Amino acid sequence: QKNLSLLSPEQVELAKMLLEKEQSHLFQHWSEPGVNDDEKRAFFDQIAKLNSSYPGGLVAYVNTARELLADSKAGKNPYDGFTPSVPSGEVLTYGDDNFVQFEEAGVKEARKAAFVLVAGGLGERLGYNGIKVALPRETTTGTCFLQHYIETILALQEASCSLAEGNCQPEIPLAIMTSDDTHLRTMELLGKNSFFGMKPTQVKLLKQEKVACLDDNEAHLALDPHNKYRIQTKPHGHGDVHSLLYSSGLLKVWHDAGLRWVLFFQDTNGLLFKAIPAALGVSAIKQYHVNSLAVPRKAKEAIGGITKLTHKDGRTMVINVEYNQLDPLLRASGYPDGDVNSETGYSPFPGNINQLIFEIGPYIEELTKTGGAIKEFVNPKYKDATKTAFKSSTRLECMMQDYPKTLPPSARVGFTVMDAWLAYAPVKNNPEDAAKVPKGNPYHSATSGEMAIYRSHSLILRKAGVKIDDPVIQVFNGQEVEVWSRVVWKPKWALTFSEVKSKVSGNCSISQRSTMAIKGRDIALEDLSLDGALITEAVDGAEVKVGGSVQNKGWTIENVDYKETSIPEEIRIRGFRFNKVEQLEKTYTDPGKYFLKP
Ligand code: UGB
């Protein structure tokens, strides 16, 4: 009461709201007016922010928290009444006619797309000190994830526009969701690198705010242990992306500009864009409102399972069941062994890779009703079995793939399964944890993430007729991985299988110990026999034919230990580095026709 004179009318309203929601403990320790006044004002600034950044404000937050905490205390299963079964989706085989047809349709459609990268996560499991999008996707060229993503979107933009009749909307927008943990460093990375070739106006950063922590089952907001005039906050999860796209008005801008698709993707999947053209083609041809990309999933792998849920009352939905919930759900509903592999060696439930493609029209219609609020969950760590007290404060969380949970049964929700070697190579686990992953399951580490890039490129070239040696098995940071020829190319060289095929001719071969980087649009491989390292770079307009027998000492692979702190973190977390002994390296800086032959 005594402090009320400090507050503006809006702040007084907020104070009333807090008291109505039984949050008076927040003020109990407040000092006399005149003492800590700045802190008190800052407290209300924070409350105003927490209130405005959550759909429905703090009242809604506390109400939902009370409900979810009561359910959690009662041990209520969120999937109560639902029976899981294996859904059917579009299963694609890389390079066959069907796949090629979807890729073509997808590239055409890309000019009507907007991309959304969720990059607000700190990457606690990875434990890397920087932001994850700044990590090299592979260390042959050193291209970081963000650069690769942007270069691919630009290449898609160009490829798509070249297929368009008449006037083409030439800029595919990119929105990046950041958080306080990643915002400044993401801006800095973009700024330092001239947005990696994108127009600065093409990129929009949307910062997600954290949400208030909760101290107990009554949803009392938690005070920051270090500052009694601050609410403790924690991340709310990647599901925030929907409310941000809606409240920022960006979605409307895209819709008004005639765009048709929004594609969501995560921070460290270096293969993802290999799957985008075909997946977008599936969305367009099948007219899916929601299309999730999936890969065959190993039981217990830390990716959600796409599941068909049928309710007792007849409702059905196809939705991701998160990895920590799949096993209990299966055990409770007729699968006594829980999350296990079938005779195929994989879980019968396709693995969600959180690459989602939404059709903008139905999406914006739904968000107009929900404001972008996503079904949330709470995961308190209780002190004991009475479930009356928490070990530490908790908060509500939400996941972007839960969006379809509120959709009507008429919504067309589908999914597309692709090979993991093509579509999925996340960098999420630190070396120590990766080394403990059960044998045969993917490591999801910096080591496996980079090696997967080489495997994917090698397999694609093989499919296009290039003779590529089998890989060798090597161990880095305690992880056994296949080491294929280190082949990488810039997205503008080829986005689709047809493009790769059009750039390879005659008898080409690449030995296992070889490294090949293609950094240019018009570089054609013709009767190339490579045993060593070959780096070719060409500006647009320089047409280069690469052929003949290239042989040199090449780049060797050296083991490094992740504990070796004298080595830069982004290298040692991989467990290897390249020793560039000898290479043929050629850069073409002027337009023209060239033949690169040793
Ligand atoms: N992220 C944010 O932008 N904000 C946040 O508050 C949190 C995260 P994680 P997770 O495909 O491999 C997801 O932590 O959540 C961003 C799916 O839920 O890497 O454990 C963050 O920056 C799971 O079903 O993953 O698991 C990152 O880009 C499975 O599909 C992204 O959100 C799994 O990903 C994911 O965050 C997977």
pLDDT tens, the chain, 598 aa long: 667 777 889 999 999 999 999 999 999 988 888 888 899 999 999 999 999 989 899 999 999 999 999 999 998 888 888 999 999 889 999 999 999 999 999 999 999 999 999 999 988 899 899 999 999 999 999 999 999 999 999 999 999 998 888 777 679 999 999 999 999 999 999 999 999 999 999 999 999 999 999 999 999 999 999 999 999 999 999 999 999 999 999 999 999 999 999 999 999 999 999 999 999 999 999 999 999 999 999 999 889 999 999 999 988 889 999 998 899 899 988 889 999 999 999 999 999 999 999 999 999 999 999 989 899 999 999 999 999 999 999 999 999 999 999 898 889 999 999 999 999 999 999 999 999 999 889 999 999 999 999 999 999 999 999 999 999 999 999 999 999 999 999 999 999 999 999 999 999 999 999 999 999 999 999 999 999 999 999 999 999 999 999 999 999 999 999 999 999 999 999 999 999 999 999 999 999 999 998 7
pLDDT for the residue 163: 87
The single-letter DSSP state of residue 134 is: G
Helix (H, G, I), strand (E, B) or coil at 55: coil
User: Which ligand 1 atom lies nearest to the CA of residue 355?
Assistant: 11
The single-letter DSSP state of residue 258 is: T
CA-based radius of gyration for the chain: 26
Decide if 252 contacts 114 (C-beta within 8 A): no
Q: Is 334 left (phi over 0), alpha (psi -120 to 50) or beta?
A: left
d(CA 413, CA 418): 17
Is residue 442 lining ligand 1, measured as CB closer than 6 Å?
no
Residue in 564, 559, 482, 470 with CA at minimum distance from that of residue 510:
470
Is residue 120 lining ligand 1, measured as CB closer than 6 Å?
yes
CA 421 vs CA 89, 155, 342: distances in Å: 19, 22, 20
pLDDT for the residue 487: 98
**Neighbouring residues of 414: CB distance < 8 A, sequence distance ≥ 6:** 89, 90, 282, 286, 288, 290, 291, 292, 318
d(CA 401, CA 449): 23
> What is the 3-state secondary structure of 314-345?
CCEEEEEECHHHHHHHHHCCCCCCCCCCCCCC
Q: Length of the chain in residues, anyone?
A: 598
CA 317 vs CA 22, 297, 299, 453, 460: distances in Å: 37, 20, 22, 34, 35
Residue in 433, 374, 474, 36 with CA at minimum distance from that of residue 228:
36
d(CA 520, CA 541): 9
Is residue 267 lining ligand 1, measured as CB closer than 6 Å?
yes
Whole-number Å distance, alpha carbon 314 to ligand 1 midpoint, is: 31
CA 60 vs CA 21, 51, 171, 184: distances in Å: 10, 9, 38, 30
The single-letter DSSP state of residue 446 is: H
Of the residues 133, 267, 320, 354, which should be mutated to test ligand 1's pocket, given the most ligand atoms within 8 Å of the CB?
354
The tokens describing 235, both together, are 């991340």
Is residue 322 lining ligand 1, measured as CB closer than 6 Å?
yes
Cross-strand bridge partners of residue 558: 577
Residue in 381, 26, 62, 69 with CA at minimum distance from that of residue 217:
69
Q: Is 288 left (phi over 0), alpha (psi -120 to 50) or beta?
A: beta
Of the residues 208, 238, 325, which should be mutated to test ligand 1's pocket, given the most ligand atoms within 8 Å of the CB?
238
The tokens describing 442, both together, are 């993917």
Whole-number Å distance, alpha carbon 403 to ligand 1 midpoint, is: 14
Nearest alpha carbon, ligand 1 atom 35: 266
Q: Which helix (H) or strand (E) holds 452?
A: helix 446-463
Asked whether the ipTM of the predicted complex exceeds the cut of 0.90, the reply is yes
Decide if 597 contacts 586 (C-beta within 8 A): no
d(CA 230, CA 26): 9
Is residue 321 lining ligand 1, measured as CB closer than 6 Å?
no
Cβ-based burial of 187 (10 A; exposed 0-12, middle 13-18, buried ≥19): middle
pTM attached to this predicted model: 0.95
